[in-house]
Amino acid sequence: MPELPEVETARRGLEPWLLNQRIRSAVLRHRGMRWPVRADLPRLVAGHSIRSVGRRSKYLLLDCETGWLILHLGMSGSLRMVPAQQVPGKHDHFDLVLENGQALRLTDPRRFGAVIWEPGEPAHHKLLRGLGPEPFDAAFDAKWLHARTRGRSAPIKNVLMDSHIVCGVGNIYANESLFRAGIHPSRAAGRISLPRYARLVQEVRATLNAAIAAGGSTLRDFVQADGSPGYFQQQYFVYGRQGEACRRCGTPVRGVRIGQRSAFYCPRCQK
Ligand SMILES: [Zn+2]
């Protein structure tokens, strides 16, 4: 499932192809995405230029002058640039066709992705307005985490994945950040000190930055028509490594369920 680093990698890969380009049309081959795509979308975007290619949480935001195109990759979506006349595959549900003959093509076998038109400020859209700060925002700091978690017995891993607290930290990166910060994923969020939260904020950013940097190496795949989605495989510290040796101390990594999600941790390195 695409997480924040994959979406940021896509944003960086696509920006040079899209920025300041004029839109010729849009092609809807399957309107039944996570939410039905507006049938009049082609008319709404035609003739406008893309003024910016942004990201909020896992949403890509294209400023199309009279409104915003909000794209989400869902569980299985990917975006790439293709020549507009290239024959679409079975799962190529949406094209944004540019005047220069290129097209931004959304491929999504499971159709949990989203293509949304927002005529106003995207920050006010119902999917975005309740979101907490971005992990790289100054507003996401130790004081914020500390203040928001006093009296809470919820496991820190769940809190880190709560988009009202900080957005875009999915399961993989929550597990990895907690390992790097030496914090046990089940620890009650209300019982973590300010200095430990300062460390956690650093490690969330370091983990995401490393993933974005790794994504950079496959950036070319993202914008070629070879069908490869461009996601990277990272060397994880704990994620998916149950029973394998901790990379720091050699103790076998444990796997448990916390809430509905899998958690992985080193019982020696994480307290
Ligand atoms: Zn360890």
Per-residue pLDDT tens over the stretch 234-246:
678 999 999 999 9
Give 203 Cα–ligand 1 centroid separation in angstroms. 16
Residue 209: which H helix or E strand, with range? helix 194-216
pLDDT at 223: 43
Is 8 one of the annotated active-site residues of the chain? no
Which residue from 44, 47, 61, 43 is spatially nearest to 114, judged by alpha carbons?
61
179 or 74, which is more confident: 179
The token pair at 207 is: 């983990």
Taking each helix axis as running N to C, give the angle between helix 194-216 and helix 4-18, from 0 to 180 degrees, rounded to the nearest 10.
50
Give 112 Cα–ligand 1 centroid separation in angstroms. 37
pLDDT over 60 (residue 226): no
pLDDT at 222: 47
Over residues 162-189, mean pLDDT:
96
Of 2, 5, 155, 185, the catalytic one is: 2
Over residues 8-21, mean pLDDT:
92
Min mean pLDDT across 26-40, 108-122, 228-242 is at: 228-242
Rounded distance, CA 67 to CA 2, Å?
25
Of 55, 58, 157, 241, the catalytic one is: 58
Phi and psi of 183, rounded to 5°? -110, 130
Is 203 one of the annotated active-site residues of the chain? no
Is 143 one of the annotated active-site residues of the chain? no
pLDDT at 233: 55
Number of H helices, E strands in the chain: 7, 10
Q: Are 270 and 256 in contact, with CB atoms under 8 Å apart?
A: no
Under the banding of pLDDT at 50, 70 and 90, the label for residue 230 is very low
Give 268 Cα–ligand 1 centroid separation in angstroms. 5
Is 157 one of the annotated active-site residues of the chain? no
Phi and psi of 47, rounded to 5°? 85, -10
Over residues 29-53, mean pLDDT:
94
Torsion-angle region of 97 (φ positive above 0: left; ψ -120 to 50: alpha; else: beta): beta
Give 254 Cα–ligand 1 centroid separation in angstroms. 10
Give 171 Cα–ligand 1 centroid separation in angstroms. 19
